[in-house]
Amino acid sequence: MSAPTDPREPEVLVHTEGRAGFLTLNRPRAINALTHPMVRRIDEALTEWEHDPAVTTVVIRGAGERGLCAGGDIRAIHDDARAGGTASVDFWRDEYRLNARIARFPKPYVAFMDGIVMGGGVGVSGHGSVRIVTERSRVAMPETGIGFVPDVGGTHLLSRAPGELGTHLALTGAQADAADALLAGLADHFVPSAALPALAADLTRLPAAEAVARHARPAPAGGLAARRDWIDACYTADTVEGIVERLTDSGVPEAKETATVLLTRSPTALKATLAALRRARTLDSLEATLNMEFRLSCAALSSPDLVEGIRAQVVDKDRDPRWTPPTLAGVTAQDTARWFGPQPTGDLGLVAPQH
């Protein structure tokens, strides 16, 4: 798919063709990072198409060659946090409501998870009913590397992955390829990237299931399946310190390297993330998990690690964040518990539909 580059183009291209409605995230230079107006525009289109009998399938895809969506606009979050503003809270409130809506959308919602799909990109794709990955897919929730926690329903998805795969992906922020995403339950079908235009054309005239079946293929082998033994053994520990210790002492070189990676992440974010994943396993709906994540995100906004993490990774790009506190031992159980408590911003208040 060629990418529009005219800066006057809308950030989301919305059109219908045949029986399909197409949403194309259109910020290719930013790998289609989500802004608040983009979230609102997607929601508006879904409202229109939900009640339009001529539209039987919705397709979301990204402009350009780099990916569906690299996440939220974290530079804007950095600036808002430094200024003590409310723009990020307002954005998350609408974004998380959109994530819940996508999960409940009554028509097939087909996500082309081609290329980079991270953070908020998972939110607009991973809750869809038909999730397509390609040989170019790199799916990740890399939030702990910027002092944040997996959000957009990410803890809901990852807490339901087989064994401890979701814990590994959430704490490390590791990228999942197509086979890994399928194994972890983040995707449903593999389609070669070269076949996406033909699939899009078929979706304009065929039922979604029939169109996808024409193009789905076995995915190339991934790496997570071969790592299941040490991942499941190490990540069942009750604490992040316990996980790091098990990884270090496992006798598996790759596990030891993973322990080293974890020690570069925000200690506070790691502990909040592990607690969130464990709680998400017990929650009975995506909506309940999003309510929890909203509290966590608002707590992160006032944490020094979020501003520092984004500074190090995106603003100054020195890749040398100075976390506060700098070690896992410095983060107490009370520190972590505060992230889950009531926030001055209020609650999200999502309620799961009753059946």
Calculate the CA 250 to chain-centre distance.
29
Q: 164-201, pLDDT tens digit by residue?
A: 999 999 999 999 999 999 999 999 999 999 999 999 99
119-138 per-position pLDDT tens digit: 999 999 999 999 999 999 99
What confidence category does residue 253 fall into, taking pLDDT thresholds of 50, 70 and 90?
Answer: very high
Q: Determine the Cα–Cα distance for residues 247 and 78; give it in Å rounded to an integer.
A: 32
Indicate which residue of 120, 126, 128, 153 is catalytic.
120
Helix ranges restricted to H, the chain: 36-50, 74-83, 87-104, 120-123, 154-159, 165-172, 178-183, 196-203, 208-215, 224-234, 240-249, 253-262, 267-280, 286-301, 304-310, 333-340
Where does residue 31 fall: left (phi above 0), alpha (psi -120 to 50 degrees), or beta otherwise? left
Active site residue 120: yes
Structure tokens at 344: 């001055």
Instruction: Say if residue 175 is exposed, middle or buried (CB neighbours under 10 Å; 0-12, 13-18, 19+).
Output: middle
pLDDT class for 355, splitting at 50, 70, 90? low
Structure tokens belonging to residue 29: 């230079």
CB of 268 closer than 8 Å to CB of 305? yes
Question: How many CB atoms neighbour CB 6 within 10 A?
Answer: 7
* pLDDT exceeds 90 at position 3: no
pLDDT at 2 over 80: no
Asked if residue 205 has pLDDT above 70, the reply is: yes
199 contacts 59 by C-beta, under 8 angstroms: no
The CA distance from 80 to 90, in Å, is 11
Check 151, 202, 293, 305 and give the catalytic one. Answer: 151
Residue 161 reports pLDDT greater than 60: yes
Are the beta carbons of 235 and 270 closer than 8 angstroms? no
Question: What pTM was computed for the model?
Answer: 0.96
Could you give the percent of the chain with pLDDT greater than 70?
98
- In angstroms and rounded to an integer, the radius of gyration of the C-alpha atoms of the chain is 20
Scanning the structure block, which residue is given the tokens 């995707």? 187
* All residues at 6 or more sequence positions from 163 whose CB lies less than 8 Å from its CB, including other chains: 228, 231, 232
Average pLDDT over residues 266-284: 98
Helix axis angle, 286-301 to 267-280, nearest 10°: 160
Nearest alpha carbon to residue 206 among 20, 48, 16: 20
Q: Does 72 qualify as catalytic in the annotation?
A: yes
Q: Residue 6 pLDDT > 80, yes or no? A: no
> Residue 1 pLDDT > 60, yes or no?
no
Instruction: Give the span between the Cα atoms of 170 and 270, in whole angstroms.
Output: 9
Angle at which helix 224-234 crosses helix 240-249, to 10 degrees, equals 120
Which residues, in sequence order, are bridge partners of residue 58? 21, 109
**What's the pLDDT score for residue 108?**
98
pLDDT, position 354:
81
Q: For residue range 206-217, list pLDDT tens digits in order.
A: 999 999 999 999
The angle formed by the CA atoms of residues 144, 100 and 288, to the nearest 5 degrees, is: 70
DSSP conformation class of 1: -
pLDDT at residue 228 greater than cutoff 90:
yes
Rounded average pLDDT over 253-276: 98
pLDDT tens by residue, 37-54: 999 999 999 999 999 999
**Residues 166 and 130: beta-carbon distance below 8 Å:** no
Catalytic residue among 62, 64, 67, 72: 72
Q: Which residue of the set 73, 80, 143, 287 is catalytic? A: 143
How confident is the prediction for the chain on average, in pLDDT? 96
Could you tell me the sign of the dihedral formed by the alpha carbons of 145, 151, 113, 177, in that order? positive
Express as a percent the part of the chain with pLDDT over 90: 96
> Which is more confidently placed, 323 or 8?
323
Order of strands across the sheet that contains 138-140: 67-69, 116-118, 138-140
Dump pLDDT digits (tens) for 75-89: 999 999 999 999 999
143 labelled catalytic: yes
Give the pLDDT score at 191.
98
pLDDT of residue 8: 73
